[in-house]
Structure 1
Amino acid sequence: MDEIRHVRLFRNGRNQAVRIPVEFELPGDEALMRRDGDRLVIEPLAKRGLSALLASLEPLDEAFPEIVDPPPASERDL
């Protein structure tokens, strides 16, 4: 099962808060929170868009094969 850590709840103005220990830190500066029965689930907010997806991909370590793809014949050649 996942690692468990005892934390304390405190008040920050009118909001209840919890300090997230360093080993549980989430990436980014936004998250989604939802209630699942008596549990609160906090998930990192996924970055959106093609740029974020491409930035998350690892480069390929292999070369692409050469593909023979001649241009189509012109109408004059037909």
Structure 2
Amino acid sequence: MATITVSLFRNGRNQAIRIPRDMEFHGVTELIVTREGDTLTLRPSRPSWSSLATMEPIEADFLADRPAVIEPGRVDFSERED
């Protein structure tokens, strides 16, 4: 794990840091900041399951013409005991 020291500065009323180029987050526009004691952890913000509610509905025939990926007879659950 790489560790470096950076300087803090003020950006308006916020405290900020500059993330060095070799540690930058590529393709990320938002970070989640978590504080635990005197430690701040930065990690990319990823879509959550609740974001599905904001998506457009899929078409009724979505994946209707998908290829069979499991060979017939390959999976047999008839002998399974619960």
TM-score category by the smaller chain? 0.5 to 0.7
> Which 4+ stretches in 1 moved above 4 angstroms?
none
Q: TM-score, normalised by structure 1?
A: 0.57
Q: TM-score, normalised by structure 2?
A: 0.54
Structure 1 residues 68, 38: closer, same or farther in 2, change over 3 A? closer
User: Structure 2 unaligned runs (5+)?
Assistant: 53-68, 74-82
Q: Aligned to 2:22, what secondary structure does the other structure show?
A: helix
Deviation at 1:35, TM superposition (A): 0.4
User: Structure 1 unaligned runs (5+)?
Assistant: 51-63, 70-78
Give the paired residue count. Answer: 54
Cα distance between partner residues in 1 of 2:38 and 2:48: 30
Once the two structures are aligned, what percentage of the paired residues are identical?
Answer: 39
* Larger-gyration structure (1/2): 1
Query: 1:46 maps to what in 2?
Result: 46
The structure richer in helix per residue is 1
